[in-house]
Amino acid sequence: MIKRLYDWVLSWSESRWGWLALFILALCESSWFPIPPDILLIALCLGAVMKSFRFASICLAGSIIGAAIGYGIGHFLWTTPAGEPTAIATFFFNHIFSVEGFNNVGALFDKYNFWIVFTAGFTPLPYKIFTIAGGLFDINFVMFIIASIVSRGLRFFLIAWLIWRFGAPIKAFIDKYFNLLATLFTVLLIGCFALVAWLFGDAREDDTEIKSTDIELIEDNKSCDTTDL
Closest among 152, 151, 173, 150 to 162, alpha carbons compared: 173
Phi, psi torsion values for 27, nearest 5 degrees: -65, -50
CB distance 144 to 109 below 8 Å: no
Please determine, for residue 5, whether its predicted confidence score (pLDDT) is greater than 80. no
Amino acid 66 reads G
How far apart are alpha carbons 3 and 23 in whole angstroms? 21
How far apart are alpha carbons 128 and 126 in whole angstroms? 6
Helix (H) / strand (E) element for 137: namely none
How far apart are alpha carbons 75 and 69 in whole angstroms? 10
Please determine, for residue 84, whether its predicted confidence score (pLDDT) is greater than 60. yes
CB distance 60 to 29 below 8 Å: no
Indicate the DSSP class of residue 192.
Answer: H
**Lowest pLDDT segment from 51-55, 68-72, 102-106:** 102-106
Task: Give the number of domains in the chain.
Answer: 1
How far apart are alpha carbons 20 and 59 in whole angstroms? 9
Enclosing domain of residue 216: 2-228
**Lowest pLDDT segment from 46-50, 95-99, 108-112, 136-140:** 108-112
114 three-state secondary structure: helix
Q: What is the pLDDT of residues 171-183, one digit of tens each?
A: 888 888 777 777 7
Decide which of 81 and 216 is more confident: 81
Amino acid 58 reads I
**pTM of the model as a whole:** 0.78
159 three-state secondary structure: helix
Average pLDDT, the chain: 82
Burial 205-226 (b: 16+ CB within 10 A, else e): eeeeeeeeeeeeeeeeeeeeee
Decide which of 113 and 86 is more confident: 86
- pLDDT, residue 203, reads 43
What distances in angstroms separate CA 204 from CA 52, 112, 192, 200, one per listed residue? Answer: 46, 21, 18, 6
CB distance 132 to 70 below 8 Å: yes
How far apart are alpha carbons 39 and 111 in whole angstroms? 32
Please determine, for residue 210, whether its predicted confidence score (pLDDT) is greater than 50. no
For range 133-156, the mean pLDDT:
93
List the beta strands (DSSP E) in 3-108: none
Closest among 105, 120, 113 to 139, alpha carbons compared: 113
